């Protein structure tokens, strides 16, 4: 940090890079990315070009022009009105209720290595852990335990940085020691180039985009960055390079250590550690790493429970939420919104259990639905950025995409088109892991229903739902 008079504390370039890496980096996606082996290099570069660059630049301009609490709700509302602003923030929140399942199932799969790794393929076990962890943390958050925010950085170190470093260093040591691997150590040009003629292979590009997705949330820091016009795009470039390198190395190591036919998309990380530390005298390391990942991941989840809810709760002032969802307890926690969120996560957990096929199939279906729902929000965000260049050119933006209206059309227009492309891809099951014939129907119906819900809520909202001026909510004593 650096102190600048008149503006309070400003984030240095290094501080912004560290914050963004901590917010976005994860080892959960290594197994899914590892499915394509050496092709992960090209896939990762495509994800940066197609998603990271346009999304980060557009969201930075919007965040510095309209820095009020609410983020995408405020941006889209300014461009298209309250109805679509509410829809955008609803989609942002709702997709996270689906996305949390991938985190919780990752916790469950990792936890199984503490006592019985076979449980990583047991859906009922997964569901039980989802319910216990999420509802337990939800009830703890009712008490307004602010110390959860303080352990966020510790959780990232325990659950991501340390395991990732051990995986990469240990994996390289294992490979360089001459142990057998499952993909070539000397890739040819054909090994690196994806088979773009196969839609079922190309759909895995969605996985690599998901590594970076959510960058618009970190854009809220843009107004706090020193020399934002230069340091924001430079910081995003550095973050992209760091995350790409870590993801590619991690994915390739997983692909080398675990045969594709045995790779579990949830437990693949722990399968890799089991190979690295296969010597009986080192088996305790697998247990220790599993414990670190579980503790770190649970700590991270505990700090995320309130975040998405607060974004949606910011719309309550406009009367978009019924009174029952506007209630806070004496600790200033929106308890009913948290309960609704927990109910939804329980529902998605049940979907995970009931979907026909194996763990990999269920995981991918929810993962893909998360992506399509989020993409609809990005449609609104990109369109809002273009419209606001015409309707609100007078609003000062600390960061502005160069080139005027043409520059915005190029960047936001490219981002919009890429989202359309990724949306279509996410609707298709990858050949490597698809099971059952209901995938496309599930995706279409699920996306339409989720996108329609906020429009229905808005259509039935009543004037009395709007909070009186100067109040935050109805408080329960």
Cβ-contact 305, 157 below 8 angstroms: no
Query: What is d(CA 276, CA 257) in angstroms, rounded to the nearest whole number?
Result: 8
Tens digit of each residue's pLDDT (9 = 90 or more) over 42-54: 988 998 899 989 9
pTM for the full predicted model = 0.81
Domain limits of the chain? Answer: 7-475
Residue closest to 443 by CA, chosen among 32, 98, 36: 98
Find the Cα–Cα–Cα–Cα dihedral 257, 259, 260, 265, rounded to 10°.
-60
DSSP 461: -
Token pair belonging to 139:
């009830």
Query: What is d(CA 327, CA 372) in angstroms, rounded to the nearest whole number?
Result: 31
Cβ-contact 454, 91 below 8 angstroms: yes
Instruction: Tell me the mean pLDDT in the region 219-226.
Output: 72
Tens digit of each residue's pLDDT (9 = 90 or more) over 400-439: 899 999 999 999 999 999 999 999 888 887 665 555 457 7
According to the model, what pLDDT value does residue 477 have?
A: 42
What is the separation of C-alpha 395 from the centre of its chain, rounded to a whole number of angstroms?
Answer: 30
3: confidence class by pLDDT, cuts 50, 70, 90: very low
Query: What is d(CA 384, CA 69) in angstroms, rounded to the nearest whole number?
Result: 17
Cβ-contact 447, 426 below 8 angstroms: no
Give the rounded percent of residues in the chain with a pLDDT score beyond 70: 87
Q: Which long-range contacts (CB under 8 A, 24 or more apart) does 340-343 make?
A: 341/97, 341/138, 341/305, 341/308, 341/309, 342/134, 342/135, 342/138
Instruction: Tell me the mean pLDDT in the region 349-376.
Output: 79
pLDDT higher than threshold 50 for residue 19: yes
Query: What is d(CA 114, CA 129) in angstroms, rounded to the nearest whole number?
Result: 14
Residues 6+ apart with CB under 8 A from 181: 175, 256, 257
Residue 124 neighbours by CB distance under 10 Å: 9
The phi, psi pair for 120, rounded to 5°, reads -65, -15
198: confidence class by pLDDT, cuts 50, 70, 90: low
Residue closest to 236 by CA, chosen among 434, 24, 87, 416: 24
Residue 280 neighbours by CB distance under 10 Å: 7
Query: What is d(CA 171, CA 277) in angstroms, rounded to the nearest whole number?
Result: 10
Tens digit of each residue's pLDDT (9 = 90 or more) over 71-100: 888 899 999 998 999 999 899 888 888 888
Query: What is d(CA 291, CA 152) in angstroms, rounded to the nearest whole number?
Result: 17
Cβ-contact 138, 342 below 8 angstroms: yes
Q: Give the homologous superfamily in CATH for domain 7-475.
A: Amino acid/polyamine transporter I (1.20.1740.10)
Instruction: Tell me the mean pLDDT in the region 242-256.
Output: 90
Residue with tokens 């008079």: 5
Query: What is d(CA 372, CA 445) in angstroms, rounded to the nearest whole number?
Result: 11
Residue 11's DSSP bridge partners are 225
Token pair belonging to 71:
């983020």
Cβ-contact 327, 335 below 8 angstroms: yes
According to the model, what pLDDT value does residue 6 have?
A: 44
150: confidence class by pLDDT, cuts 50, 70, 90: low
Residues 6+ apart with CB under 8 A from 215: 20, 24, 51, 52, 55, 56, 59, 236
Query: Among 16-25, 56-65, 158-167, 369-378, which stretch is predicted with the lowest mean pLDDT?
Result: 16-25
pLDDT higher than threshold 80 for residue 64: yes
């Amino acid at each position: 940090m650096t102190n600048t008079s008149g503006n309070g504390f400003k984030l240095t370039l290094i501080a912004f890079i560290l914050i963004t890496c901590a917010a976005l980096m994860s080892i959960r996606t290594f197994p899914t990315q590892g499915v394509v082996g050496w092709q992960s290099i090209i896939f990762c570069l495509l994800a940066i070009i197609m998603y990271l660059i346009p999304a980060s630049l557009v969201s930075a301009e919007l965040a510095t022009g309209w820095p009020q609490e609410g983020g995408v709700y405020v941006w889209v509302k300014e461009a298209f009105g309250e109805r679509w602003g509410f829809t955008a923030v609803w989609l942002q929140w709702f997709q996270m209720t689906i996305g949390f399942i991938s985190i919780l199932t990752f916790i469950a799969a990792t936890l199984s290595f503490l006592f019985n790794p076979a449980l990583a393929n047991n859906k009922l076990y997964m569901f039980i852990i989802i319910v216990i962890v999420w509802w337990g943390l939800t009830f703890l958050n009712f008490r307004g335990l602010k110390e959860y925010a303080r352990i966020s950085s510790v959780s990232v170190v325990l659950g991501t940085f340390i395991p990732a470093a051990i995986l990469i260093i240990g994996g390289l040591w294992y490979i360089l020691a001459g142990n057998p691997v499952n993909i070539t150590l000397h890739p040819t040009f054909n090994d690196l180039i994806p088979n773009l003629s196969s839609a079922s292979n190309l759909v895995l590009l969605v996985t690599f985009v998901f590594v970076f997705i959510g960058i618009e949330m970190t854009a809220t820091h843009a107004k706090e960055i020193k020399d934002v016009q230069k340091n924001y795009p430079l910081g995003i470039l550095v973050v992209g390079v760091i995350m790409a390198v870590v993801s590619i190395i991690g994915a390739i190591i997983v692909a080398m250590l675990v045969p594709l036919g045995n790779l579990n998309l949830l437990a693949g990380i722990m399968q890799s550690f089991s190979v690295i530390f296969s010597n009986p005298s080192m088996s305790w390391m697998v247990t220790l790493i599993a414990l670190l990942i579980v503790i770190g991941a649970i700590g991270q989840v505990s700090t995320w429970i309130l975040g998405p809810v607060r974004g949606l709760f910011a719309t309550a002032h406009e009367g978009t939420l019924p009174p029952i969802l506007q209630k806070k307890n004496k600790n200033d926690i929106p308890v009913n919104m948290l309960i609704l969120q927990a109910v939804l996560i329980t529902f998605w957990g049940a979907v995970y259990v009931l979907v026909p096929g194996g763990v990999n199939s269920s995981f991918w279906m929810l993962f893909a639905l998360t992506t399509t729902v989020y993409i609809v929000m990005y449609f609104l965000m990109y369109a809002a950025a273009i419209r606001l260049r015409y309707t609100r050119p007078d609003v000062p933006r600390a960061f502005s995409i160069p080139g005027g209206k043409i520059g915005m059309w190029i960047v936001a227009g490219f981002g919009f088109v890429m989202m359309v492309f990724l949306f279509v891809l996410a609707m298709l099951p990858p050949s490597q892991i698809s099971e059952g014939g209901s995938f496309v129907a599930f995706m279409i119906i699920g996306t339409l229903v989720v996108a329609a819900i906020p429009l229905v809520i808005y259509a039935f909202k009543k004037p009395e739902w709007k909070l009186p001026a100067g109040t935050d909510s109805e408080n329960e004593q």
